[in-house]
Structure 1
Amino acid sequence: MVTDRFNSLGRPARLVALCLLVVAVAFLVLGRWDLALAIGAGALLGWVLLKPVRITWAIFAVAFMVPVTIDLGYPTNPSYTLLLVLFVLAGWGRLHRAERDGWPPRRIGAALLLPFCAVLAGVLHWHGVKPVVVGVAPLLCIGVLGWHLIEEARRDPKLILRIAEVFTWVSVAVAALAKYQTLTGTWPLFDQFAYDWTYTSVFDPTRAAGFFGHPIVYGSFAMAMALVSLTIRGRYWYVPFTANLIGLVLSGTRSAWVGTALALGIWLLLNVRKIAWRGVATGVIITVVAFAAVAVNPSTFRIGTSEPPPTWVSPTEPGTKPSPSPSTSSVDSVGVAGARMSDPVGSASASARFERIAVAWDGITRDWSTVIFGNGPESSVRYLEDVGIGDGQAQVFDNTYLTIWHNFGLVGLLSLLGLLLALFWRSRSLAGRLIIVGFAAQIFFFDVWLWLSAVGVLLLAVALGAAEDRPWPTLPFLNGLRKRRPRAPETSDASTPGFAAAA
């Protein structure tokens, strides 16, 4: 079959493929696996660019399956490199479709809104060209990606639904890996290849990260996949839903718990009239299975014995990466989750965030211009590098909204909030709306833009919102509002839901 596909290519394409293969093999023989890998990645990228459908698949595959905490020899920061790759994919996809689809000004304007705010802040508070480019680049990439996915979802809605369902089953394997991480107290591959020790289990062996390199990002992914499983309801939907509930607990990500709780609360309100005993029984079974999978570990079956928790050898010199001690044991995930829920306001993490809110607010309120237009792109990075916060935590504000306000001002913050509200209101998908609610809640607790998998969660919500066009339940008071509206003409489709019609 591979031979047939190869022969179906044109003669120039076959010659190019053979030359690339020979060069890659030569580099492998010489021991330059990095150059051979680069050639393979370039060839794969060229193959993907041949068809827009492949581009759509590739966007989510890169966003969800390529961790940004492992540096494979990228020319710059992995997040910026992978965002650039996705920008090339989406940009080529739009150029490929432009002759037929045209250039919709509203969607292009929405894609450029946040980058425009960044440029405006950079011009008013000038610190050179580099901060403007670095600050605008991720926002521009994400905007173009969103525009591309909206167009492709409207062209082929079934493709987006198929992609979403495939990744819900991928998430089952990720949950299994997360359970293995809590059983061993280590993160395979990430502990060996992460470019910074803070992206390994050394930093916090009590939490799982899947293959995302950070528990917060895994929490975002598990939240989205749980909501997709619950709302799209593919075959055996309860399997990925249960697996992602397990993953949410194992990640120990309180921000994802908050986002999931809000989204599930909305889902329950929308479906309150449809709740039946069968549904209640299914919910109880899922809860019991998830709790059992989280709680069970080898020590559960040992009587009268206990092992100490994993310990880590502290570095003896500044800059030395800690290493795991030979003695490790499984993590009590239930105990960890309970501890993180018992005193969320008084924890060290919460105290650090309160301090960051105060620091960010001081920078925002320096004068009227910083309130309205911010301090300029990358101003938060410059402050944290030059001054910093001496609490031993990551040097970030850990709040996307405050970071946007600090850098781009109230203009940027209102633009972000307006975009999220517009995406929620115009979404045709219940899954898309619930993911947007969870995402909007979670990014209050961390800076999202350079965590590609977390951004992928928003992109999935955008694509689903443009793909699905089916009735979904609304709150009773919204139904009451609709009854007061003028009746639609007899020729209209009375079955079209209000939200979908508004879209």
Structure 2
Amino acid sequence: MKYLAVAVPSIIFLAGLIVVWKVKLECALWASVTTALVMAIMVPSFATSAPVAVAAVVGAILVLAFGLLRDWRTLKQAPLPLVLIFFTLWCATVGSVGSPIKLVLLNLGTGALLSLLAVAVVGAAKRHTNFLLPLLAIVIVFEVLLGLAEEFLGLKAMWPRANGTDVIANRVNSIVPFLAGRAMGSTSQPIPYGVLLGFALIVCLWFAVRRKSALLYSAAALAFVGMLLSGTRSALLGVGAAIALWALLALRHRLRILIPVLAVIVVGAVTTLVVVLTSGDRALLTSDSVLHRLGILETAANLLKRNAADFLFGRGYQSMGVLIRSGVVHGVAGIDVFDEEFVRTIASVGLIGLLLLIAAIALGLRRGNQLSRLLIVFIVLGFFAYDALSWRLSATLFVVALAYGYGTERSLENPGIRFSSLTSRFSKAR
């Protein structure tokens, strides 16, 4: 495991650097963003040691910076997600208060990484609106194969959970009970695994509808299989909500069609809710999973009683454990995470951090096209289920979803990547 933890980020960094250097100028940002995404997918936040995590972040920063240096002209007059960038830097600095030096370096590096990623995504989307497709199609196949190997071949996940364990039988899959458990793929936790595949499903389905592509429909279906393997209820509900929103937006001017579609959505939502709430060995509403989150929400008002400085600025990510152990914010005993991103944000980086997060989301929804809006809705709904932004993968997907809309400028008409000319990209760099 130690050698794997060193080899994986090293290979991704070197491969990404070479590809960004060798591809044609128009594909430099696409290659750099792809490298950053692969690094986030393949090197989880908590499954590796702090030095390895820092090295992965630094490697992604260098590749992104190289891509931006090669194709900086694309960003001329480009609308940048400045509030999103400020939010990532705010979290990196204020969130580091009270942390040991290795975590300070990791937080600051992550803030720089996400800021550069936001800028690079805008440029990549301006060049190629379909720049996410190549990677996500491959990711779907790779991750589902890993999940199937865990479920049916008895193989261990690529990385253990944050506590070092990997016993799939302990991760009960209440959605598909006959499976061995909840798969984790390369992400070291079931929830990020489900979120990654849900994100990929929405992108593939969007382009499949526009292009009438059987291959992309198949990729979306395969992603849905992977989501079932993950057993992530919040991701499935998020995808359902995004697709329902998509249907409503598409039919908003066709009243005769909209009314029956609304009826189907309501009936489907109620049916899904009943199935989800009654699945598993016991009702979901009485499970520790839901009781903990409800407890966190019920006690979140206690954060208003802190002194003005703590309320406005927070006391860093290291203070979250103290807040739970002291009972200021609490859910089920023994669970020492918030599992609710908005409460986690105001607790750790204060009201200012929360307002920046809300503003970044609102601006992303306003500036984006329909695809970016669907992705934002999907990601943000997940904020109510887990500490999303504490995971570098989830934070990366969040930044990609928000920044993508700034690059496409509500249009999907600019040319996509021409895969027939892939070989020509590896000509001499300009």
Q: TM-score w.r.t. structure 2 length?
A: 0.72
More deviation, 457-466/410-419 = 457-466
The equivalent residue for 1:402 is 343
Q: Could you tell me how far 1:229 is from its partner in structure 2?
A: 1.9
- Once residues 247 and 100 of structure 1 are traced to their aligned partners in structure 2, the CA distance between those partners, rounded to angstroms, is 36
- Mapped contact 1:86–1:145 kept (Cα < 8 A): no
Deviations 1:179-217 (A, max 9, x none): 443335x453437x6663345525415212233221101
- Once residues 64 and 462 of structure 1 are traced to their aligned partners in structure 2, the CA distance between those partners, rounded to angstroms, is 18
> For residue 413 of structure 1, what is the amino acid of its counterpart?
L
Unaligned runs of 5+ in 2: 23-27, 173-180, 269-274, 413-430
Q: Which fold has the larger relative contact order, with Cα–Cα distance below 8 Å and residues 6 or more apart in sequence?
A: 2
The equivalent residue for 1:210 is 185
> For residue 230 of structure 2, what is the amino acid of its counterpart?
S
> For residue 284 of structure 2, what is the amino acid of its counterpart?
P
Cα 1:453/1:107, change in 2 over 3 Å? closer
More deviation, 456-465/346-355 = 456-465
Q: How does 1:283-432 map to 2 (within 5 A)?
A: 339-340=279-280, 343-358=283-298, 360-383=300-323, 391=332, 393-428=334-369, 430-432=370-372
The equivalent residue for 2:119 is 147
Q: Out of 268, 274, 288, which is 2:247 matched to?
A: 268
Q: Could you tell me how far 1:127 is from its partner in structure 2?
A: 4.1
Q: Out of 237, 240, 247, which is 1:258 matched to?
A: 237
Q: How does 1:221-236 map to 2 (within 5 A)?
A: 221-233=196-208, 234=211, 235-236=213-214
Unaligned runs of 5+ in 1: 1-31, 288-334, 473-503
Identity of aligned pairs, percent?
Answer: 20
- Mapped contact 2:98–2:318 kept (Cα < 8 A): no
1:188 aligns with 2:187: no
The equivalent residue for 1:87 is 61
Q: Could you tell me how far 1:95 is from its partner in structure 2?
A: 3.5
Cα 1:444/1:198, change in 2 over 3 Å? farther
The equivalent residue for 1:59 is 36
Deviations 1:42-100 (A, max 9, x none): 643542452534323212222234444543xx56263x443332222223333444477
Aligned length: 374
- Once residues 242 and 197 of structure 2 are traced to their aligned partners in structure 1, the CA distance between those partners, rounded to angstroms, is 13
Deviations 1:274-324 (A, max 9, x none): 999xxx9xx9xxx9xxxxxxxxxxxxxxxxxxxxxxxxxxxxxxxxxxxxx
Q: Could you tell me how far 1:402 is from its partner in structure 2?
A: 0.8
Q: Could you tell me how far 1:150 is from its partner in structure 2?
A: 0.9
Task: Report the RMSD for the aligned CA atoms in angstroms.
Answer: 4.0
More deviation, 442-451/201-210 = 201-210
The equivalent residue for 1:476 is none
The equivalent residue for 1:496 is none
1:167 aligns with 2:136: yes
- Once residues 248 and 39 of structure 1 are traced to their aligned partners in structure 2, the CA distance between those partners, rounded to angstroms, is 29
> For residue 55 of structure 1, what is the amino acid of its counterpart?
S
1:461 aligns with 2:430: no
SS in structure 2 at match of 1:446? coil
Q: TM-score w.r.t. structure 1 length?
A: 0.63
- Once residues 151 and 33 of structure 1 are traced to their aligned partners in structure 2, the CA distance between those partners, rounded to angstroms, is 33
- Mapped contact 1:373–1:409 kept (Cα < 8 A): yes
- Once residues 238 and 94 of structure 1 are traced to their aligned partners in structure 2, the CA distance between those partners, rounded to angstroms, is 33
Q: Could you tell me how far 1:151 is from its partner in structure 2?
A: 2.1
Greater Rg by CA: 1
- Once residues 109 and 385 of structure 1 are traced to their aligned partners in structure 2, the CA distance between those partners, rounded to angstroms, is 33
Q: Could you tell me how far 1:137 is from its partner in structure 2?
A: 4.0
More deviation, 386-395/435-444 = 386-395
SS in structure 2 at match of 1:151? helix
